[in-house]
A and B are shown apart, each in its own frame.
Chain A
């Protein structure tokens, strides 16, 4: 891969990530407007296939298998040597992960604080359950509240994972690159030997 191709790959990954998060945000907003009425439930049932149909191609073509788009965007050129290619790929994907992780972290600060203070709320709830022998009323959340809580929780986890450096995804991309670059590597070594 060339430097430009690697940069294009990083940009596509960033766009893919933000598209998926935006899509999930739309789903959350849609669920939050649901009042268990026929029309709104129908809207969700109608939107779910659209959500899945949009999510799969975005994840597949922009994040996991974006090479054909990368070649279209950046064209071809002289490939980097394998060592440099690895470093460039790791660094560019990591920069994308950190940048997007920081953006998500900003939105997740209240959620993280809520998670931290969660143990303080557990004891009164357990007391309530054992004293009144009923399910605590404060835990009877509406679909809107559930959708917000689940979305915020997943967002916080994604932020933490991206700030950790997105290791699994980078390893996956490196493995793909390794299988592709083995013939190139042999050519490169032969070129040096000659």
Chain B
């Protein structure tokens, strides 16, 4: 194990803990919906939100804190690497870590939106009576709401997987920029 592995493990654990805490902070909203409009629907929504958040926190802590060795090996490579004499070796690893953090941020937002929609649906349903006209309708499953949700989820999954094409493209661009700069410096 070299420095890159250690640093990657530290960053992965930090990402896991940071986003777990961020997800936990979404729970009071779900709880407050139940307290403001106690009903079977809001209780069900609260339970579903709890399970969703608990599941994701469990996954985050398992993969990023408890089993981070496997992920580190996937990001950096095999354990028998020499110390990185060239700084270039850090570049893809750092970019991949940023992408993973970004991906978890995207998925985090998807979970937030999902729990919010569930709470809203439950709250609206509990206040719909047969003899009353419903003036405000909530349509979370419209095209305009679903499409951004799907795209966010897709980008989140791609980023969590390490965004290989994006990382490769950025590495090439960065090295080209450094090379051009060096040539200019040499010419000066």
**B residues near A90, Cβ cutoff 8 Å:** 174, 177-178, 181
- Taking a contact as CB atoms under 8 Å apart, the answer to whether B95 and A95 are in contact is yes
Tell me which residues across on chain B come within 8 A of A94, comparing CB atoms: 95, 170, 174
Asked whether B101 lies within 8 Å of A99 as measured between CB atoms, the reply is yes
Report yes or no: A109 in contact with B152, Cβ–Cβ below 8 A. yes
| Majority secondary structure, B binding face | helix
Alpha-carbon distance A48/B173, docked complex (angstroms): 39
Task: Point out the residues of chain A lying under 8 angstroms from B99, CB to CB.
Answer: 98, 102
Q: How far is the CB of B142 from chain A (nearest CB, A)?
A: 12
Q: A113–B147 contact, CB under 8 A?
A: yes
Q: Of the listed stretches A28-36, A37-45, A53-61, A81-89, name the one at the interface; the rest are far from the partner chain.
A: A81-89
**Which of B88, B101, B105, B148 lies in contact with A109, CB distance below 8 A?**
B148
A91 touches B91 (CB 8 A): yes
A165 at the interface (CB under 8 A from B): yes
Contact in complex: A91, B181 (CB < 8 Å): no
In the complex, which residues of chain A have a beta carbon less than 8 angstroms from the beta carbon of B184? 178
- A141 and B166 alpha carbons, distance in the complex (Å): 38
Does B185 make an interface contact (CB < 8 A)?
yes
Contacts of A185 on B, CB cut-off 8 Å? Answer: 185
Say whether A178 contacts B106, CB under 8 Å.
Answer: no
B87 near A87 with CB under 8 A, answer: yes
Q: Does A143 contact B (CB under 8 A)?
A: no
A167–B87 alpha-carbon span in the complex (Å): 20
Min CB distance, A184 to chain B, in Å? 12
Contact A99 B106 (CB under 8 A): no
Residues of B within 8 A of A15 (CB): none
Let me know if A103 is at the binding interface, CB within 8 A: yes
The answer to whether A106 and B152 touch (CB under 8 A), given A82-B185, A91-B91, A98-B95, is yes
With a cutoff of 8 Å between Cβ atoms, the chain A residues found around residue B87 in the complex are 84, 87-88, 91
Q: Are B106 and A106 in contact (CB under 8 A)?
A: yes
B77 to nearest A CB, angstroms?
18
Indicate if the CB atoms of A165 and B173 lie closer than 8 Å. yes
Mark contacts of A92-107 with chain B using CB atoms, 8 A cut-off: 1 yes-contact digit, 0 otherwise: 0011001100110110
Chain B neighbourhood of A167, CB < 8 A = 177
Question: Chain B residues with Cβ under 8 A from A102's Cβ?
Answer: 98-99, 102, 105-106, 159
Chain B 146-188 interface mask (CB, 8 Å, partner A; 1/0) = 0110011001000100000000001001100110011011001
Most chain A CB within a 10 A radius of its CB, from B87, B99, B101, B155 = B87
CB atoms of B174 and A113 under 8 A apart: no
Nearest chain A CB to B97 CB, angstrom units: 9
Q: How far is the CA of A102 from the CA of B99 in the complex (A)?
A: 8
Asked if A110 CB lies within 8 Å of chain B CBs, one says yes
A69 interface residue (CB < 8 Å to B):
no
Known: A103-B105, A178-B185. A98 touches B98 (CB 8 A): yes
Contact across chains for B174 and A178 when beta carbons are under 8 A apart:
no
Query: Given B94, B95, B181, which contacts A174 in the complex, CB threshold below 8 Å?
Result: B181
Residues of chain B touching chain A, judged by Cβ–Cβ distance below 8 Å, are 87-88, 90-91, 94-95, 98-99, 101-102, 105-106, 109, 144, 147-148, 151-152, 155, 159, 170, 173-174, 177-178, 181-182, 184-185, 188
